[in-house]
Amino acid sequence: MTDAPRESGSLCKVAELFGYVRETNYGRWFEVRAEVNPSNLAYTNLGLQAHTDNPYRDPVPTLQILSCLENTVEGGDSIVVDGFMAAGRLERESPEAFDLLAGHCARFEYMGSKGVRLAAKRPIIELGADGELIAIRFNNRSAAPFTDVPFAKMEAFYRAYRRFAEIIEEPGMAVTFKLAPGELFIVDNTRVLHARKAFSGSGSRWLQGCYADKDGLLSTLAAIEEEELRP
């Protein structure tokens, strides 16, 4: 979206156009800018590896909105990667590696302030009962020991995990853009990984993020389509 309001918290109004804000321990929305004593890598000016958010929640927030209020820094470009395309490449290259990541659960954990302790156990590549690819969970910073993988398969599992990460990190997999003030984007957090490049210490880069869920968006789209079909 372009020409979005640039007031703090206004991105929640975008979520409410089609559904509801998914409030978490981070609040209705959260700040993405460098802090003096950061509690999260996102609150620095360092680059971030492509990842999905909150894999330690079950269910995870299925939509993420990121809105730009200020951006005068050098660098800081936003990056998105289609996780389903990456998974498809892995499956074509090595069906065995794909099956390992889809057939065994990974563990993800978060330990925050004020007694917040979150944990979830899900496959990195999640398939439905009919074999349909339904979700990607990939976040090295939130990964816990993979204790659910049988010991005999552990070495092969880590090789598969590493290869999947290499595919995700390939430059050709990325779509890169720099947000300007008043611009925001929405990603499917069960499919699209997001990242950013490092940025300079001078200038200001202020983004805000919030979560929502696909059921509200899909419901709104279905209602619009139904209305358009009426004579």
Which residue range(s) make up the domain with 26? 11-226
Residue 231 lies in a domain: no
Please name which of 161, 149, 165, 169 lies closest in space to residue 97, comparing C-alpha atoms. Answer: 161
pLDDT at 34: 67
Domain membership flag for residue 17:
yes
- How confident is the model at residue 47, as a pLDDT? 83
pLDDT at 36: 39
Residue 182, burial from CB neighbour count under 10 angstroms (0-12, 13-18, 19+): middle
Query: How far is residue 219's CA from residue 18's CA, in Å, rounded to a whole number?
Result: 8
Residue in this structure with the two tokens 């869920």, named with its chain if needed: 213
Q: Whole-prediction pTM value?
A: 0.90
What pLDDT, on a 0 to 100 scale, did the predictor assign at position 40?
58
- pLDDT beneath 70, residues of the chain: 34-44
Q: Count structural domains, the chain.
A: 1
Q: N- to C-terminal Cα distance for the chain?
A: 30
Which pLDDT belongs to residue 203?
85
Task: Give the CATH number, domain containing residue 105.
Answer: 3.60.130.10
* pLDDT in the model for residue 79: 97
User: In the prediction, which pLDDT does 45 show?
Assistant: 74
Residue 1: inside a domain: no
- Residue whose structure tokens are 């492509």: 50
Give 70-86 pLDDT, tens digit per residue: 999 999 999 999 999 99
Tell whether 5 is covered by a domain.
Answer: no
